[in-house]
Structure 1
Amino acid sequence: MKLNVYLSGEIHSDWRAQIIEGCQKEGLDISFSSAVTNHDASDAAGDGLGDEQNSFWRDHKSAKVNAIRIKHLIENCDLAVIRFGEKYKQWNAAFDAGFCAALGKSYITLHDESLVHALKEVDGAAQAWAQTPAQVVDILKYLTTQA
């Protein structure tokens, strides 16, 4: 089975690369997509719509432009992996999880045990909770190789 997997969330570590490389090593037929992970580029996504002196409106425009990409990718994925990291609060990732749940899209949360309480509702709607990228690769291997 070929899967289209959307990778959402934290952008300050190499978790995406670990999952992609792990799946490649296993020879899995999976295509991956993601939001823009270059923080400066993401923040500037709406700059073409005109200069903003107020940071709220700059962020607002950029969020809307970024949402075009994210909405399309989530609507067209088979499942999503949503990563929550320790250092920053990923409100966008929580939003993506809710969007997946509303669409009936399967998703896997990826975070360490220290966030279990904070993410209890997000995890409650997920089909799996993984603590490492290797665990995600194991799940994806199972999904794509079982007859």
Structure 2
Amino acid sequence: MSGIIKAKGGRSMAFRVYLSGEIHTDWRDRIRDGAAGLGIDFDGPVTDHGNSDDCGVAILGAEDDKFWHDHKGAKLNAIRTRKGIAEADVVVVRFGDKYKQWNAAFDAGYAAALGKSLIILQPEEHDHALKEVDAAALAVARTPEQVVQLLAYVITGTLPG
């Protein structure tokens, strides 16, 4: 069984998953690779840190003040993020070890406010700090492979193994 969903009128649609959160590890690739063949369309933020930070000034013009530099980039990135989350069937938000991901927490809250199915991917040591985020999620996974198994179950109804 594939990840193709029948919409009203019999039109087929691929299952859509938005991958939000930290950009410093290969977790997105592991999920995409593991979910190959499930018919999932993946989306997410721009993960090139320099491009993400500098998109506003590269397109709209330089800023002397770092606040306004970041402000322009954040707004342009928000266009992509809002669209991706709004169109997703499932939103996966990864909280990693290296940096505090304030944007990931915002994305999780935005997805929850839209009523999106939310999967949180985090190490166990973040459980206390993310307890409110976890409470809004439908699942909390520890590894990208668990996320793949969750998605496979949701799409096919079969258990791993």
TM over 0.5, shorter chain: yes
Equivalent position of 2:34 in the other structure = 22
Instruction: Verify: 1:106 aligned to 2:117, yes or no.
Output: yes
Larger radius of gyration: 2
- Whether 1:45 and 2:55 are equivalent positions in the alignment is yes
Report 1:3-82 matches (<5 A). Answer: 3-24=15-36, 27-47=37-57, 48-82=59-93
Match of 1:139 among 126, 150, 157: 150
Q: Cα deviations across residues 57-101 of structure 1 (Å, max 9, x unaligned)?
A: 000010000000100110001011000001100000000000001
The number of residue pairs the alignment matches comes to: 145
* Cα separation, 2, equivalents of 1:99 and 1:11: 19
**More relative contact order in 1 or in 2 (CA 8 Å, sep 6+)?**
1
Q: Which runs of 5+ in 1 are unaligned?
A: none
Q: Could you say what secondary structure the match of 1:45 adopts?
A: helix
**Paired letter, 1:14:** D
* Root-mean-square deviation (Å): 1.0
Letter aligned with residue 21 of structure 1: D
TM-score (norm 2): 0.88
Give 1:49 shift.
Answer: 1.3
Write the deviation string for residues 107-126 of structure 1: whole angstroms up to 9, x where unpaired: 10001100000100000000
What is the deviation of 1:56? 0.6
SS at 2:63's partner residue? coil
Secondary structure in structure 1 of the residue aligned to 2:35: helix
In the aligned structure 1, how far is the partner of 2:24 from the partner of 2:31? 15
| 1:45, distance to aligned residue in structure 2 (A) | 1.3
Find runs of 4+ consecutive structure 1 residues off by over 2 angstroms: none
* 1:129 maps to which of 127, 131, 140: 140
CA distance in 1, matches of 2:54, 2:134: 31
1: CA distance, partners of 2:128 / 2:64:
38
**1:20-64 Cα shifts (integer Å, max 9, x gaps):** 00011xx21111001000000000110121211111100001000
Q: Distance in 2 between matches of 1:28 and 1:45?
A: 33
